[in-house]
Amino acid sequence: MTYQAREIPDNFVAKWQETTNVMADIFEVPAGLIMRVLPEQIEVLVSSHSAGNPYEASEKAKLNTGLYCETVMASRKLLQVPNALEDAHWKSNPDVALNMISYLGVPLLWPDNEVFGTICVLDSKTRKFQAKYVDLMWEIKKSIEADFKVIQQQERLVDSNTELRLAIESQRSDAMKLAQTNEELNAALATLKKMQGELLRSEKMAALGALVAGVSHELNTPIGNSLMAASTLQSHAAEFSADLLKGVTRGRMHEFVEAINQGAELLMRSLAHAAELVGSFKQVAVDQSSMKRRTFYLDTTIAEILIALGPSIRKSGLTVERNIPAGITMDSYPGALGQVLSNLIDNALVHAYAGRAQGRIIISAESDGDDQLRLSVRDEGVGISESNLSRVFDPFFTTRLGQGGSGLGLHIAYNLVHTALRGNIAVDSSPDHGACFTLTLPRVAPAGA
Ligand SMILES: Nc1ncnc2c1ncn2[C@@H]1O[C@H](COP(=O)(O)OP(=O)(O)OP(=O)(O)O)[C@@H](O)[C@H]1O
Ligand SMILES: [Mg+2]
């Protein structure tokens, strides 16, 4: 049999001291005891303060030595020994050596029904206690066992208190970890923002690259025409100088002047066209690289932007229709508008009509009151699924991952519309019914944009 020692708070030991004193007094014995069992020993937990008491608190005795209390604990029953000296079984038990020859004791049980120890009285003379004393001892036992329950509940309270404290502490450390994670996330976000800024800049460079390609392509025709006109003039001059050696008629002179005039006219027209193109490209290029604010005509600026996009539009075989009333002016950022339109048109080419040889892109504008205008870019292509529709403006959202799509085009467009042009951009689309991007813009961008 192994026993488990229970801890008893001091205030209970003090209380039981009183009880044990009174008990010894009532029983008229020198020793009233509360014994506590330890794994290998038994200990006097409380000893009555009475005359002739040979026991002292905290005294310990070995188990398995034939103590009265040991029998009580093992049997869990009341034990009464009126006189050990007259009892063959008890006459040589260790308490007899202390002259304690009579005994009355009952077991004390912990709330879990394990043995705690005993409560007992001992005397140096023969004692045979009446039933009422035995009853009293049972009552004392019950009251101490009731205290055990209180002690256990208090222990549990302390335990759950500790658990609570631990839980609070762990929560606090969780919160700290969260704060740290938050900080890390913020740092990551800052890096991302910086990256986005850089991407935006590189996107701008890419737009300028496209512009340069557009410029050279568009200039091909007028410069080619100029070259042809110049070389025709040259051959006219050569022919005429050969004729001069032979002598020329008045008619021939007229003919030559007429040819020179025509050639010069053609040359001037072509060069003027080239100059005009260079002028408008210069405007778009300046707009795109500087993001300068200025007053401009919407239709002219869109025409210039479309010229820049000309080569890729022509290559795709698509047509671009324009419904832009003449005379709408804006005081805003034409470079930003150009980038937004380029991204929308580029998307129509790449996504809406992917792999199709024909199709239309319709750009329309209309005034919305005096201060606002609506500008839409519509296609009749594959459209956008409902689940993707809410994500198209998200950075890095693309359905062409690994096929040249970075998913930044619409995000940049969204940012430019909101931060530079100070307007709104919305999309309306369903699968197979094309997509329509609508910009709502103030004609005069608010200051500070
Ligand atoms: N006109 C359109 N028709 C169908 N889908 C479109 C259209 N415009 C955009 N999308 C969808 O929206 C997604 C996001 O467009 P976004 O311009 O932001 O990125 P991207 O074109 O894929 O890549 P990037 O523009 O960076 O090259 C596209 O991948 C495509 O799925
Ligand atoms: Mg795109």
Question: Which amino acid residue places its CA nearest to atom 1 of ligand 1?
Answer: 348
Sole residue written with tokens 């990256």: 195
Question: Which amino acid residue places its CA nearest to atom 12 of ligand 1?
Answer: 392
Is residue 283 very low, low, confident or very high in pLDDT (cuts 50, 70, 90)? low
Is the residue at 356 inside a domain? yes
- Residue 2 pLDDT more than 80? no
Which domain-ending residue is among 92, 112, 129? 129
The ligand 1 atom at the shortest distance from the C-alpha of residue 437 is 1
**CATH number, residue 321:** 3.30.565.10
Model pLDDT, residue 219: 81
Rounded to the nearest integer, the mean pLDDT of the chain is: 89
Is the residue at 276 inside a domain? no
- Residue 298 pLDDT more than 50? yes
Is the residue at 178 inside a domain? no
Which domain-ending residue is among 89, 111, 129? 129
Could you tell me if the CB of 405 is within 6 A of ligand 1? yes
Model pLDDT, residue 408: 78
Could you tell me if the CB of 348 is within 6 A of ligand 1? yes
Could you tell me if the CB of 435 is within 6 A of ligand 1? yes
Is the residue at 156 inside a domain? no
Please give the tally of structural domains in the chain: 2
Model pLDDT, residue 447: 77
Could you tell me if the CB of 425 is within 6 A of ligand 1? no
Could you tell me if the CB of 409 is within 6 A of ligand 1? yes
Residue-range definition of the domain harbouring residue 393 = 291-449
The ligand 1 atom at the shortest distance from the C-alpha of residue 394 is 18
Which domain-ending residue is among 68, 98, 129? 129
Residue 31: CB atoms within 10 A of its CB come to 24
- φ, ψ of residue 448 in degrees (nearest 5): 85, 0
Is the residue at 254 inside a domain? no
- Residue 104 pLDDT more than 90? yes
- Buried b / exposed e across 280-316, counting CB within 10 Å, b at 16+? bbebbbebbeeeebeebbbbebbebbbbbbbbbbeeb
Could you tell me if the CB of 397 is within 6 A of ligand 1? yes
Could you tell me if the CB of 413 is within 6 A of ligand 1? no
From 66-80, 208-222, 391-405, 411-425, the region with the lowest mean pLDDT: 208-222
Distance 402 CA to ligand 1 centre (A): 13
User: Over the stretch 153-180, which tens digit does the pLDDT of each residue have?
Assistant: 998 998 888 899 999 999 999 989 989 9
Distance 383 CA to ligand 1 centre (A): 10
Is residue 449 very low, low, confident or very high in pLDDT (cuts 50, 70, 90)? very low
- Residue 288 pLDDT more than 80? no
3-state secondary structure of 364: strand
Is the residue at 186 inside a domain? no
**CATH number, residue 93:** 3.30.450.40
The mean per-residue pLDDT over the stretch 278-303 comes to 78
Is the residue at 247 inside a domain? no
Is the residue at 259 inside a domain? no
Show Cβ contacts of residue 330 under 8 Å, excluding neighbours closer than 6 positions.
295, 296, 297, 298, 301, 337, 373, 441, 443, 444, 445
- What share of the chain has pLDDT > 90, as a percent? 60
Task: Choose which residue among 392, 394, 400 to substitute to test ligand 1 binding: the one with the highest number of ligand atoms within 8 A of its C-beta.
Answer: 392
Could you tell me if the CB of 124 is within 6 A of ligand 1? no
- Residue 311 pLDDT more than 90? no
